[in-house]
Structure 1
Amino acid sequence: MRSRATLLTIAAFVLALVVSAVIAGGAATVVEKSTKQEVRVAMEAQGYGWMRVHTDGLQVILSGTAPTEAERFRAVSEVDKYVDSSRVVDNTDTQITKPITPPAFSLEMLRNENGISLIGLVPSSVDRDAIVEKLSKVAGEDGVTDMLESADYPVPGGWDEAMQFAMTTIETLPRSKVSVTAGKVSVQAITDSPSEKGRVETSLARRRPTDLKLSFDISAPRPVITPFTLRFLIDKEEGPHFDACSADTERARDHILAAARGAGAKGTLTCTIGMGTPSPDWAKAAQMAIKAVGDLGAGSVTFSDADIALDVPSTVDQQKFDDVVGELESNLPGVFSLKAKREPSPDAKAAQASFTATRDGDGHVELKGRVTDARERQTIESYARAKLGHDNVHGATRVDEELPAGWPVRTLAALDALSVLHDGKVTVTRDGISVNGVSGDPQASDTISRILTSQLGEDAQIDLSVKYDKRLDEVLALPTGKECVARLNDTLKKKKVDFDPGSAQVASESLDALDALAKSMKNCTDFKMEVAGYTDNQGREEMNLQLSQQRAQAVIRGLLDRGVLIGNLEAKGYGEAQPIASNDTEQGREMNRRIEFVLLDETPVGDDALPNATADATAGAEDGEPHWNGAVTDDGAPATEDAAQDQSGDGDTAAKPEQDAPQEEEIPVETPGDETPRPQSRPEDLSKG
């Protein structure tokens, strides 16, 4: 019993030890986790997120890299607030600090009438007192203002060499800025003249040490030119040349010299650049005036500030003089004033003063000649823009104070007359008004006559020559040449002209296509057009070319038989050229066998003004070549003596007739007039005329 009791006691003791160990281990784990969590949360809250926290039993192990040593110390000290320092294992470290980059040393020396100023950052080892002392001798009583700062870093390479060059340079330039960096010097300076500028630039370039980078901007003040002058002339001795030339900028100079070369000047041309120009538009005015002298071919133009004098000899045509001067006077910039003079010819009568207003077919209007003053010029141009289109009017008139009374009324009446014309010209002279032009209004002459007599009086001298053009008549609304061709080709798309196989004979089922073409030719016979024939690529190329020519002729003959005037139609065969579809399929070949109309001239012409142009429509090939009417022999060959040697080239298969088709008899064809009798019905066989 005693042994049993002893065993139970021992077992109870062992069990107590195990339970105690388990409880102690669990408690340690709980403490370890809670400590780790508490420290980690505290570090993140304090901004020490770089710190890593680990636990090993009761020990707290810290790791991570702090940005600075001070921050690492503060973080570890913060951990001591939560864990006894004896339990903390500090394995943290700090980032490796990069070496501090030396500053960019620079020095600026500014010299003017107030002395010399030094601004910048220099190495501490630089002897600033020696620099100030040396420059004080240069500045004299004005002295040196030292605003330099220094830094304790080594002197960079090239600094001493650059400083020595800069010190020497500032001594020679009383108005300058010299900038110094290691191995580089920049110089900005103002000199008294262009020649001094050149000397300074040469000196700097020669003194520059080999390893030193040097840049400089040396300027010289532009001279004040008063008055601002320019004189360009063309004479027999020297030709086109300058006596004087001034410009305000390099760009203006280049434009002026280019205008002189455009007027014929050669060799080396110079133009002084200076200050004092009367207007930013100086170059524009000079270009226009130089061009005017060049257009006249003789004379001179002289600028004195904004006053311009244009003088030409009597050899210059008066009308040309008026036109050129009017163009120049109307377009000069506002600040400039022009006085133009032509030497009178001792033996010639005074030229007739005139004003002309011209309108072309596109509506562009040009005003030339003479007006009484600048106000009348402005009034005329404004009225023309209101009457004839704001963007269509170009004025080139000149002022003549000796014009007769009532001149402004005549010029305005001339514009009213011009507005009736589609295109033409109205001229006002001392004696009267002449009107020449074209209009689509059959009553245009009456309208213009009423306008002029109502404004100028019944006794006004009026010369009218106005032609009526029916194609401009909006009431008739006649088609243009392009519209005619488009209409004819559209008709052919709807009703194609087909031919008998291997023949130039129009197929019977296509006769209504010729009827449709004849209707589409209405109001289109005044335009020169080409009737173009095409074939596919089946057969010989030479025969295809001949066949296409004769098919085009057959179409013209068909139109003639239907009463169409064909004097402006020309037949042209192109053979198998210019296909519009593939010749590899029957459908494509069918499309390539076609007739097309092509406009040769957009200007309408009357048939009566043309030679008889119908020979191609009735005769075969000219100049001795055989005529073929499209008929074939039993073996499919052309029924002509010479052409029988070749097989027909068109892709159509010729049907064999029982006998050879008879040779077509050529008939003379004349352009029908109004009295020409028209056919009563369509002939069944076009080949028989």
Structure 2
Amino acid sequence: MRLSSLAIISTTFGLAAGLSLIGAGFAVKAIEDGSELGVRRALDDRGLHWAEVHADGLQVFLTGTAPTEAIRFNALSAAGGVVDAARVIDKMTVRDSAKLQAPRFSIEILRNDGGISLIGLVPASTDRAELMAKIRPLAANGKVTDLLETADYPVPDAWDDTLDYAIRALKSLPRSKVSVAAGAVEIRAMSNSADDKRKLEADLNRTAPDDLDLTLNISAPRPVITPFTLRFLIDENGPRFDACSAEDEDARTRIIAAAEKAGMTGKPNCVIGLGVPSPNWADAVETALTALTELGQGSVTFSDADVTLVAAEGTAQGQFDRVVGELENALPDVFALHSVLPKPEKKDAATDVPEFTATLSPEGLVQLRGRLTDELTRTAAETFAKARFGTAVIHTAARLDDSLPDSWGLRVLTALDGLSRLSNGYVMVTPALITLSGKTGNPDASAEIARLFANQLGEKERFDLSVDYVEALDPVASIPTPEECEARIGEILKTRKINFEPGSDKPDQEAAAILDDIAEILKQCGEIRMEVGGHTDSQGREEMNQALSQRRAQAVLNALRERKVLTSSFTAKGFGEEQPIADNETEEGRDANRRIEFKLIRPEPTPEPETTLESIAQSAQEAATEQAIDPADAAAEGGSNDE
């Protein structure tokens, strides 16, 4: 009996213990499932789908790779809001910070009479001392304000070449703002005149690397135009401007529109300047051009407020009177009209029309022929011509005639002054007309000559201009591009070779003439980046060949410097026997391999980032994750980082 009672009691306690264990297991499972489900929902609500949740008893494990440390802390906060934070076990990792995108490096360079300031962010590897050494000589009194910050990220592609170009450009920009980013430069600057602006823009574009995104905003002060001149004519060649002036963009647009109504084609050079005699300038010009269009042919000239309308020979008197009368009444106050209807010249063979002519040849020779008033006028004409054209190029064959008009001397000197504005041409002075024609490399020459004649001769004098702009004569537009310079030097070296004395870096006697020709090309090219490369054959030790090629390249560079070539942007590099162009097993091949080459220094092209489906999906996932952070969490993240 006693054993049976013990067995019953033991069995009862065993069953109770088993039932307790089963109940505890179900309770733990319920807690695990509840915790895991609650944390998963909290993470999903915040868009943190990358995090994985696993519950083991009372502990909740978080795994996965967080995009940033802040987002990892956000996941911990989400889990801690569901279960006790002490139960959350952090097994998460953070994506490698080296894969984060580098900041945008850029520099703003401000230069004025007070010095130079640098503001921006540059790579930590930038040699600040070297940068200052390049910029300080350009600053007034050497004053440079360095406000640059640094960041320890890789140097962007094209950064060094871009910064180098910006510093070289800064040399010719005393008042400027230069914005530099990798592969892009924006320049805002002021020039002293319109001519300086043209030359500056041409130089900056010509010396820029091929793949540089260059933006230029060069301004020039408006010129003071004295007298304020406009000349428009219609002849057998059609309508055109000899000179055009306007006080602002609106006036220029209206004047050009009036000329186009008269039949003019093409884009005229209408200068915006200071000195307009009346705020109604555009009104007066529009009215005068309309009147000239009604006449059909002739010219209208504005010299400040004086307006001269010259009709074509043969215009009907009635039509001329009507048009002139309407124009006189329509012109705004201040403007005074002088009208001319030339009378047909009598064709009498016995009539002797005096004339004076001057010819300027393309070689610069000047011949003075025809008639002059007296010895004093002839001396004045010769002296004036020598001052304008040079003392050694004047040939005078003009005779004296005391019957010429009193204004003859002034008209001759004015005609010579106009001819001096051309590269070559011809001018003829008669009692009724001054005719000038020729070619020039100055796009504003016609306007300048018209302004000169109108100012010196007065409103009643007639003149006819036929001035052609030739780009090849323009000292700015005719500057060859760097590629053209490289090609022209290459053509010389195809047929003529720079040789050296055997085993030496001294050019032989025949090389001097070749270097002279190359120097003349480079002087026309201005400042370009070029590499002078030396090459040898394969005979001898490799180290000796490399050293010899370096000395020869440097010798050529020194020879160009002796010939006054700007070589500050040139480099000399010896390649030794590394780059043969022919077979070193033959004498002809070895001779071809011993050479000097000129090559432009071009920046390395910037590779395009590879775009794949995986990279697109990853970027989209990161953007969605970052957008899921609410402001409260962002504040919490900031506090975490501070700790």
For the aligned pair, the TM-score class normalised by the smaller chain equals 0.3 to 0.5
**Structure possessing the higher radius of gyration over alpha carbons:** 1
Q: Which has the higher contact order (CA 8 A, sep 6+)?
A: 2
The structure carrying a bigger helix percent of its residues is 2
After TM superposition, the score normalised by the length of structure 2 is 0.41
